[in-house]
Amino acid sequence: MPLATVNGIALNYQVKGDKAKGSDIKGAAPLVVLVMGTGSPGRVWELHQVPALVAAGYRVCTFDNRGIAPSYEAASGMTIEELVRDTAALIEFLDEGPVLLAGTSMGARVSQELALARPDLVRKAVFLAGHGRLDQFQKTLSLGEHELDASGVKLPPKYEAALTAVMNLSPATLADTNAARDWLDLFEFTGGPVPAGIRAQRAMDHDFDRLQAYRGIKVPCLSVGFADDRMIPPYLAREVAQVIPAARYQEIPDAGHYGYLERPDAVNKVLLEFFGG
């Protein structure tokens, strides 16, 4: 991935297209920009969403948000406004806007704010596990996670893997012995110390309510809830669609917070239908 200097920082990004279809050339096809959630690099989209979008004829940009190396680490802290400006500056740098935009969790919030602040850069937007506020459980969970980071306490790997699974996966996935084993092994393998940049992402303000502000979003939007999401319950995603004029809401069953990984075919179908409609 190349590094771009945008909004005064370095962002690690990549743009992909299909050479056989000619969409590997700048401007040859609509550009989709995907914004990842807290603690994850942009390459996570490469598992399922990028191949499906490229195969459908789109160009796709993924990138590492500030806080995710090798992008600017921002270990001293960051704000949602900075993340929004980063994304806007990257779109301007690529000079292929207005773009089709999709984000998940924190990335959905970035996408919502970008659609509000810079409608000139956004053609359509999809919010996976979007939210205009957090309820008391999410606030307490986020603050507890931040306190755990600050304490330096290290959870046993298997216990940490089990917690990650129960908070991010659907019970339908965990009821499948083989799928549960694979996910738990993955979480155990990828666990470990949390880098400073990810701790800074986790420590961002959790006491916000942007629902009334989102009434000002004018671009076409789709808010997607994951039916079994414990991190961002689907009713929070539904609220976003209810306040944005003409926005739609769609819910994906048997999917937790990692629905784009658990139910990639369903998520890809939603993205392709909305972007192509």
Number of residues that make up the chain: 277
Coil, strand or helix at 103? strand
| Nearest to 261, CA basis, from 140, 168, 141 | 168
Tokens 């809401």, residue located: 249
- How many Å apart are CA 112 and CA 28, to the nearest integer? 26
User: Which residues are catalytically annotated?
Assistant: 105, 229, 257
- How many Å apart are CA 30 and CA 27, to the nearest integer? 7
Contact at 8 Å (CB) between 46 and 62? yes
